[in-house]
Structure 1
Amino acid sequence: MKTLTLLRHAKSGWDDPVTRDFDRPLNAKGKRAAQTVGRHLRDLNLAFDHIVASPAIRVGETLDAIEAGYGRKLAPVWERRIYLASAATLLDVIHELPTDADRVLLVGHNPGLEDLVLMLVPEMADDDLRALVEQKYPTATLAEMTLDIGGWEGVAVGAARLTRYIRPRDLDATLGPDED
């Protein structure tokens, strides 16, 4: 059994005068949302034995703020392919994860993360969590999926079960709704 948790970066500052999208930092609301999600991870006692993340500035700042709330150091492997990746590219990255890692956190961007969840989790009439993902995958949102596989190369379309979908606004009403 493997657990794959996807985290979309927190809300970034579109009004920041950076020249490249890659360099866009978080805004104040994004930092607050990420810290709130980090505290929730701590309260749930969630732990990860492998973290892989996009090297974009907003992802690094999201992880810094998550750490502040979580109270544990996160040591991601920075993976350039995750930056603005499609679901298919993210699946390639997942297939290459270390076999001995059972609980993986992947931190990246939309629409790839949302599309990946919808690709991996089969449609079921009574699946309220999947329906929420179909509506929107907001910034700083976490989706946890379990997979009945021995190794990450076994991750396939429709093979996951969505067990958690946590949006910042579910934890603090002042953190939503957002326009992204």
Structure 2
Amino acid sequence: MTDHERPLAERGRMDAPKAGRRLTDTGLSFDLALCSTAARTRETWKLAVQEFPHRPKTVYEERIYEASPGELIAVLNETPDDVRNVLLIGHNPGVQALADILTGAADGDVRERMGDRGFPTAAFAVLSFPGRWKSLEPGAATLRDYWAPTD
């Protein structure tokens, strides 16, 4: 079995619905979910989205698998302007590096928690960005929230 086809571990199966509930608790409504084509991210998304009040449009994107932060920014830059909130379901180390790069040197408790825990399976960061998706670049976002299953 290749890494791309590796299934989600039991811990991930337990944590994904918790992440879905916690994302729902943020009050955000997602317009679009961009999900890696890897088996474990597809399964994570399938379990998490069941907790959402409404399912956003989902695009399974091959480029997210093993992507660098720059490659992830390029994928996000293609998001249409009418899409307000995007959920990216991807992999480490790229996703954690992306959150670090987009939010720059932001301080505070949320940044500290994210740095201490990293991005275990089902963890998420909520970033805000006031511009158009095609202008998303390093340092342009603000880290608003972070959650890991150990919280």
TM-score normalized by structure 1?
A: 0.77
- SS in structure 1 opposite 2:50? helix
C-alpha displacement of 1:133: 2.7
Q: Residues 142-175 of structure 1, C-alpha deviation per residue, up to 9 Å, x if partnerless? A: 11101121x10111111110001011111xxxxx
Q: What does residue 4 of structure 2 align with?
A: 22
C-alpha displacement of 1:28: 1.9
C-alpha displacement of 1:43: 3.2
Q: Which is bigger in relative contact order (C-alpha 8 A, separation at least 6)? A: 1
- SS in structure 1 opposite 2:81? coil
Q: What does residue 144 of structure 2 align with?
A: 163
Return the match for 1:134 from 115, 122, 147: 115
Question: Cα 1:98–1:62, aligned 2, differ >3 Å: closer, same or farther?
Answer: same
What 5-or-longer segments of structure 1 have no aligned partner?
A: 1-18, 171-180
Q: Residues 95-132 of structure 1, C-alpha deviation per residue, up to 9 Å, x if partnerless? A: 111111010111100000011111111214x4222233
The answer to whether the Cα contact below 8 Å between 2:35 and 2:45 also exists between their aligned partners in 1 is: no
Q: What does residue 77 of structure 1 align with?
A: 59
The number of aligned residues is 150
1:78-157 counterparts in 2 under 5 A?
78-124=60-106, 126-135=107-116, 136-149=118-131, 151-157=132-138
Residue type of the partner of 1:82? I
d(CA) in 2 for partners of 1:95, 1:74: 19
Q: Do residues 38 (structure 1) and 20 (structure 2) align?
A: yes
Residue type of the partner of 1:88? G
C-alpha displacement of 1:67: 2.2
d(CA) in 1 for partners of 2:138, 2:49: 31
d(CA) in 2 for partners of 1:133, 1:99: 28
What 5-or-longer segments of structure 2 have no aligned partner?
A: none
The answer to whether the Cα contact below 8 Å between 1:35 and 1:70 also exists between their aligned partners in 2 is: no
C-alpha displacement of 1:64: 1.1
The answer to whether the Cα contact below 8 Å between 1:63 and 1:74 also exists between their aligned partners in 2 is: no
Larger C-alpha radius of gyration, 1 or 2?
A: 1
d(CA) in 2 for partners of 1:30, 1:146: 26
TM-score normalized by structure 2?
A: 0.91
Residue type of the partner of 1:142? F
C-alpha displacement of 1:74: 4.4
d(CA) in 2 for partners of 1:156, 1:42: 27
Residue type of the partner of 1:100? D
- SS in structure 2 opposite 1:30? helix
d(CA) in 2 for partners of 1:87, 1:71: 30
